Structure 1
Amino acid sequence: MRHCLGRGHGRTWAADRVNNLIVITSILLAAALLVPQFRRPGREWLIVCFLLFFATVVMANLQIAIGGYDPEPLGFLLLLVALGALSAGRAFDRERRLRSVEHELETARRIQNSILPRGLPSLPGLVVTARYEPMTEVAGDFYDFIVVDECRLTILVADVSGHGIPAALIASMLKVAFGAQKECATNPAEVLHRLNLVLHGTFDRQFVTAACAHIDLTERTVQYAGAGHPPSLLWKSERSELVELGENGLLLGPFRSATYRNVKHSVEPGDFVLLYTDGLVEGTGGDGQPLGGEGLKSIVRANIGQQPAVFVDRLLHTALTGIREDDVTLVLARVEAIGIPCRNSA
């Protein structure tokens, strides 16, 4: 019966062999869990597996040669250590990735804060109000102004696709490029054309939509051009008419040969132009339905009599009562007086 019995307590030789296989499997599993945490599997990984297998075979033979030695606790301990090390490694890795994301967001936030206007332009006869509501801490919306002189103002509202550092860097590039367009700021179509040339080829799979308006209080006109952007709105107080400024060219960036055209309207005291990003019309109202262009027009008409700041706040409050999936930026410029003598700025 000697060949049928292993250690004491009635355990068979076959049972001991099964336990030896468990030990081998545990140690190899420990190696499989630990080694890839420190380096990519390669020739060293095969060497480690071979050595562990060899050590396990030696321990198993020692068990047969020396009664009373049991390698099972060692194998089980190695397995527990490997599993614990794996869990800790993954936790530390998640923490490192989280800190990296937080650092990226903080960097993008600083970039974004540096590109938004510090204040609003002040022109005799024109009241300008702006609101910026990011969906996340780092958004892709952008707006800026060029004060040509005391009677002329150019407004740009843009929406950079994406979020985070890439969108913030593109927005900062857009700010610099827009600020350099003062010589052609009275021509929104030319401004967009030049911005498109600057942005073309500088990034992949991203783009910019934009709306550009130039208000001239001396000529009593507003000129407008768009680049793949939702149509802006012009309120004509004398006729109580809401005009959609739908002139649109291609997106900024992807197409070098894109062209843009101006539309021109007269303005009188009480008229205003509203530029906004698509987050305003894509958000849902209290009924759970997207606001849409017609819904926006209804809200605008219902609040015409309000002061610009109150008007903008009510517009945002009404439009953003439901689910919002994008950033929201809007700029309102209302004409208060016209025909004011104009002196060129320095």
Structure 2
Amino acid sequence: MKGTSLDIKDLQLNALLEVTQAVNNNLPEDDLLKIYKFTLLADLKINKLALYTQQSGAWVCRVNFGTKEDLIGGTLPAKYKELKNQIGTVETSFNEFDAVFPVYHKSKLLSVVFIESDSKLGVQNRFLNALTNIILVAIENKRLARQQMEQEAYRRELEIAKKVQNFLFPKELPKIERLQIEAFYLPHHDVGGDYYDYIQIDENKFLACIADVSGKGVPAALLMSNFQASLRALVRQTKDLLEIVTELNHATFVSGNAENFITFFAGIYDFKSKNLEYINCGHNEIILKHGDKIELLNDGTTVLGMFDPLPFIETQRLDNLDEFFLFAYTDGLTETFNEKDEDFGFERLLEIMKQDCPEDLSDLHDHIVKALNEFKGNRSYHDDITMLSCHIQNK
């Protein structure tokens, strides 16, 4: 009897050393489970075993040997999740096993283990529990460390994207008597896929634009940064709006792999000729007020990045515009929902636009944001919101 007891202790010690060495070597999760399996087979003489752990929210079998049927991937009946720190009885579909016991780390259930053994080692539940605990705590720690690393990597990626996005927007917008431009930007996430810009082409011409990329977060922000870089490079090369949009579409088609698209509106105003050339690429209706008249600027082409070449494309020119107000926005504004699941909509926005344009365009944006907040109530915004207002007094 004494010799048998020593043999058992030697086997337990050997098993413990093997498992501890595997953990210290920082082996992958699957390798740790394989070592655990073969340690039980070779050193502890376990005939049959099924180990269940939680994976992606479900309790499934991760280690199995000796049973008539392969249990790997099978789910654990709910009643076995309620076991306390003791050996439980095995019923029906698990009647191949002698016993079942849970393995806890502090108050958290890590696994449920079913065993069957002809050896006295099979009932050494305390040691088997400890051995299982060592393996599973190591796996849990690896999972937490991996999760922490992923979160840290995402945080760094987010910081980079935010810095990149800060360079997208112009640092200053003109606020002189003949030209006032004001912008408002509210990202749904820390970074977003909306973009606006003002580019001085020459002493008489400037380009103003707004864009919205499909998707949200970091991927949308990075695609939009490529778009902005392409636009600014093209404006230095040509003043032809058709050529600019054609090349922008090609660049977006390539960088987005035809899986993402961008809605885009751009207008070039010439102070000398007093005309506005514009193109609307699948973007929302842009509002233009001159005198008592309101026009909606819709003509142009389809969204950018879905087709190359574009199936149709045209620009429009409005002449004799010496004083006017232009308002551009992204669909996060009109698609803000209230508690009745109604959207703010274009008609509500249009009613605001029919009012007199304030001297300070930021007051207009504040008024719209206030109206949005009152409309949505306790509902949260679900998309980026961008507004771009431009007031020309060229007399």
Tell me the TM-score normalized by structure 2: 0.67
Deviations 1:291-324 (Å, cap 9, x if unpaired)?
Answer: 2221211121235345322112212332354232
In the aligned structure 2, how far is the partner of 1:263 from the partner of 1:55?
82
- SS of the equivalent of 1:181 reads helix
Give the C-alpha shift of residue 111 in structure 1: 1.0
1:235 counterpart = 2:289 = yes
1:155 counterpart = 2:144 = no
Distance 1:52 1:125, change over 3 A: same
The CA RMSD over aligned residues, in Å, is 3.3
Please identify, of 188-197 and 208-217, the stretch whose mean Cα deviation from structure 2 is larger. Answer: 188-197
Please identify, of 115-124 and 219-228, the stretch whose mean Cα deviation from structure 2 is larger. Answer: 115-124
Which structure is higher in helix share?
1
Deviations 1:59-90 (Å, cap 9, x if unpaired)?
Answer: 978749xxxx9733211222333343333333
In the aligned structure 2, how far is the partner of 1:113 from the partner of 1:316?
22
The residue that corresponds to 1:38 in the other structure is 27
Deviations 1:243-302 (Å, cap 9, x if unpaired)?
Answer: 111114121122111142112224545411112111111113587521222121112123
Deviations 1:70-118 (Å, cap 9, x if unpaired)?
Answer: 7332112223333433333332222222112211111111111122211
- SS of the equivalent of 2:43 reads helix
Matches within 5 A, 1:14-33: none
Matches within 5 A, 1:56-67: 56-57=44-45, 63=120
The residue that corresponds to 1:105 in the other structure is 158
The code of the aligned residue for 1:330 comes to: M
Unpaired runs of 5+ residues, structure 1, are: 1-5, 7-19, 339-346
Please identify, of 93-102 and 180-189, the stretch whose mean Cα deviation from structure 2 is larger. Answer: 180-189
Distance 1:192 1:123, change over 3 A: farther
The residue that corresponds to 1:254 in the other structure is 306
The residue that corresponds to 1:9 in the other structure is none
Distance 1:126 1:206, change over 3 A: same
The residue that corresponds to 1:343 in the other structure is none
Identity of aligned residues (%): 23
Give the C-alpha shift of residue 231 in structure 1: 1.5
In the aligned structure 2, how far is the partner of 1:193 from the partner of 1:320?
38
- SS of the equivalent of 1:271 reads strand
Distance 1:299 1:289, change over 3 A: farther
Matches within 5 A, 1:291-302: 291-302=344-355
Higher relative contact order (CA 8 A, sep 6+): 1
In the aligned structure 1, how far is the partner of 2:390 from the partner of 2:237?
20
Distance 1:188 1:84, change over 3 A: same
The residue that corresponds to 2:127 in the other structure is 74
In the aligned structure 2, how far is the partner of 1:185 from the partner of 1:241?
32
Alignment match of 2:242 (pick from 159, 183, 189): 189
- SS of the equivalent of 1:251 reads coil
Distance 1:233 1:79, change over 3 A: same
**Do 1:197 and 1:253's aligned partners in 2 also have CA atoms closer than 8 Å?**
yes
Distance 1:181 1:161, change over 3 A: same
What is the number of residues matched between the two proteins?
302
Unpaired runs of 5+ residues, structure 2, are: 2-7, 48-116
